[in-house]
Amino acid sequence: MPDLLLTNKTNFMKISFNELRAIKHRLPTGSIKKIAEELQLDEQTVRNYFGASKYVVNDSVIFRHIEPGPDGGIVHLERLDILECAKSMMNSVKQEKTMA
C-alpha cells in the first residue's frame, strides 16, 4: 500500500485514485450502506467518495479534485471520516478471520 500523505493542521489527505478504489473493493459486502448509516450520509455520497461517477447536485460530491499522476491520479480527500470508517471495517474483518 502506498504511503498516504496526511497534512499537518488540515483535515485533508492525498491518495491515489487507484488506491482509493482498492480500499473500496476490499470492503465487505454492505459496507457502503453501513458507512452511510453510521455517518448519517446518503449511500450515493459514500459511493462518490470512493470514485463513483454518478453525481447528485446536493451535498453528494465530497471530492473531485484529482491531479494528474500515477495510479489514476492524486485525489484530495476533504473528509477523512469516511475513509477511517472503511479502514475500521476492514480491520474488523481481518480480526474476525484471524480468530476463526
Mean pLDDT of the 6-35 span:
83
List the chain domain ranges.
5-99
**Around 14, how many Cα atoms within 13 Å sit in the side-chain half-sphere?**
13
23-76 per-position pLDDT tens digit: 999 999 999 999 999 999 989 888 888 876 655 545 544 545 678 888 888 888
Grid cell 473528509 in the structure block, residue:
79
Task: Provide the phi-psi class of 42: left if phi over 0, else alpha when psi is between -120 and 50, else beta.
Answer: beta
Q: Is 46 exposed, middle or buried (0-12, 13-18, 19+ CB in 10 A)?
A: buried
Q: In angstroms, what CA-CA distances link 33 with 55, 74, 77, 78, 91?
A: 17, 26, 20, 20, 17
Q: What is the mean pLDDT of residues 77-92?
A: 89
